[in-house]
Amino acid sequence: MRIAIPTMILATLPVIVSACEGECIVGITNAYIGNYTDPVNTFLEQLVNEVVTKVLPNRRYASPPINLIQPIVTAYQKTAYKNLETAIFPSYFHGKCQQPNPDDPDGPWVNPPGCPNPDCNVVCGTPGSMVHFFPKLRYLAFNAIRKQLVESTTPGSEAYQAMEKMVIREAGGPKNRKRAAGTLMPALRREEQAKGQFKEVMHQTSSIMERICGGTGNGKTNGLPKCSWEKAMKEFILSYP
């Protein structure tokens, strides 16, 4: 029996196969966060400019308008990484690449050609699979980033409420209300109007992101040309075993 123990241990150990785990997951997620820095910054600038143009046309620029967008930035920094990692890995690229052997359907499963690396046409958790399904990976990344931004620019979210408060204050709501002591209605109506305009601008998040990345996010392989980084990304992905 003493001899059987090591055999059992070996038999129960997972087969060592290449897979994107640990460092690889963190590395690829961080690479996408890094690549998206420019598009997301462009988005933030465009959004805040729209807010100033549409809601605060008479703004006196006491502070740079970029301050107004800070709640969205904070929300992004807090959750973008986690959302992106979840969207790419456990939700899509996971598991082994082996499939039934066409020459021996009842035998052990085998790695199809190109699997696990460098170009594997089975959806599984290896760099080779991510390279083969790169267009899918590109959409997973885009949609995760966009979803994050849409959430924080949707009424009811903490970031939206915080930003709305600043914008309404700048629009002069409460100040006007005081000045118009006897006639509360017009000031309130002004505030409501500013809120409505603000909501309309914030509702453009999805289309602004599509414009920046150049696509519709619906899975067409040649979409999103400005948020692809295909060559550098494929090289980087395959730098993991």
Ligand X SMILES: *[C@@H]1O[C@H](CO)[C@@H](O)[C@H](O)[C@H]1NC(C)=O
CA of residue 214 relative to chain centroid, distance: 16
Nearer to ligand X, 111 or 143 (CB): 143
Least spacing, CB of residue 96 vs ligand X, in Å: 25
Least spacing, CB of residue 237 vs ligand X, in Å: 8
The yes or no reply on residue 95 touching ligand X (CB under 6 A) is no
Q: Which of 26, 66, 184, 232 binds ligand X (CB under 6 A)?
A: 232
Contact pattern for ligand X over residues 33 through 72, marking x by CB under 6 A = -xx-------------------------------------
Nearer to ligand X, 41 or 99 (CB): 41
Closest CA to 208 of 146, 155, 160, 152: 146
Nearer to ligand X, 148 or 228 (CB): 228
136: number of Cβ within 10 Å: 17
Q: Tokens for 21?
A: 């785990």
Closest CA to 226 of 43, 28, 29: 43
SS3 12: helix
Closest CA to 66 of 43, 88, 83, 82: 43
Q: Which of 81, 92, 134, 229 binds ligand X (CB under 6 A)?
A: 229
The yes or no reply on residue 31 touching ligand X (CB under 6 A) is yes
The yes or no reply on residue 26 touching ligand X (CB under 6 A) is no
| Per-residue CA distances from 198 to 2, 56, 82 (Å) | 73, 9, 28
Give 63-98 as a DSSP string.
S-GGGGGHHHHHHHHHHHHHHHHHHHTTTTS-S---
Nearer to ligand X, 43 or 160 (CB): 43
Least spacing, CB of residue 35 vs ligand X, in Å: 4
Which three-class secondary structure string do you get for 166-187?
A: HHHHHHCHHHHHHHCCCCHHHH
Task: Report the distance separating Cα 64 and Cα 215, nearest Å.
Answer: 31
Contact pattern for ligand X over residues 65 through 94, marking x by CB under 6 A = ------------------------------
Q: Are 204 and 47 in contact (CB under 8 A)?
A: yes
Number of residues that bind ligand X (CB under 6 A): 7
Least spacing, CB of residue 147 vs ligand X, in Å: 20
| Tokens 């052990």 found at | 108
Nearer to ligand X, 31 or 110 (CB): 31
List contacts with ligand X (CB under 6 A): 31, 34-35, 229, 232-233, 236
